[in-house]
Amino acid sequence: MIDYMQKFVELEPQEVEIIQKHTSLRNYLKGQFVVQQGDVCRHESFVVEGCLRTFYVDEKGQEHTVMFAIENWWTADLGSFLTQTPAHYNVQCLENTKVIQFSHTNLENLYLQVPKMERFFRIILQRAYVASERRLVRSYSLTAKGRYLKFRQDYPLIEQRVPQYMIASYLGITKEFLSKIRNQLILEQ
């Protein structure tokens, strides 16, 4: 994780040490929940190894996948984490997963002790926001097939690691329709 951070900010050895004191390493088994809808999201997690899915279940019982996270990504229900209010989303491990976690108080503390962390997260958030905006535009301007092709192109690694019905719910379509799109793509070749 430190290597990853150094791409965005330069850290002194003593800063690295402070960061380490404010984080904890945690292992989850496949299927375990890091965050559950209704609970407060206590940590922001950096994925060292594994794969997770953020999703929420609506009133009709339908699942909507908000995002996936693999190695070197951050995950949390950010809205819940920031305000320490009940989460709208679940975050579940799709594989055995190892994460580095920042608790809310530790992170606030860390911002005071290592101001560079403000910069680091500002940069990370800028990128996340731009990506989210792009995805939003695509959701409106592209057809389901177009969104699927874009997804395959952007995240080929994720496509291979997660079941198809989760990809469908990430793209905002039903698993049946995604299956039909895939079939159609094969026929086209």
* Burial readout 153-176 (b: 16 or more C-beta within 10 A, e: otherwise): eebeebeeebeeebbbbbbebeee
Residues facing 149 on adjacent strands: none
Query: What binding mask, one character per residue, do residues 147-186 give for its own copies by CB under 8 A, x or -?
Result: ----------------------x--x--------------
Give me the least distance between CB of 81 and its own copies, in Å please. Answer: 9
One residue of 137, 143, 157, 164 binding its own copies per CB under 8 A: 137
The closest alpha carbon to 169, from 40, 61, 46, belongs to 61
Query: What binding mask, one character per residue, do residues 122-161 give for DNA by CB under 7 A, x or -?
Result: ---------------------xxx----------------
**Is residue 163 involved in binding DNA (CB under 7 A)?**
yes
Give me the least distance between CB of 91 and DNA, in Å please. Answer: 17
**Is residue 96 involved in binding DNA (CB under 7 A)?**
no
Q: Structure tokens of 51?
A: 């794969």
Place of tokens 């997963």: 97
d(CA 145, CA 161): 20
- Residues making contact with DNA (CB under 7 A): 143-145, 163-165, 172-180, 182-183
